[in-house]
Amino acid sequence: MVRAYQHRVFGVALRMLSSPAEAEEVAQEVFLRVHRSVAEFRGEAKLSTWLYAIAS
């Protein structure tokens, strides 16, 4: 999952923060949150939509 979405999540974070270092930290935090709460993913939306919601 990380390989499939890491560039997109990083891009979203970079557009919001304008700092590559901060965007990288946020992207890492997004994937940590996803890992911790993957059992809560109900599949009502695409996985990418869920990831972007967490990122924002």
Over residues 9-24, the mean pLDDT reads: 94
The pLDDT tens digits for 18-44 are 999 999 999 999 999 999 988 888 888
Which residues are CB-contacts of 1 (< 8 A; sequence separation ≥ 6)?
A: 31, 34, 47
DSSP letter string, the chain: -HHHHHHHHHHHHHHHH--HHHHHHHHHHHHHHHHHHGGG--SSS-HHHHHHHHH-
Distance, CA of 49 to CA of 43 (rounded, Å): 10
In order of start, what are the domains of the chain with their CATH numbers? 2-55 (1.10.1740.10)
Q: What is the pLDDT of residue 53?
A: 86
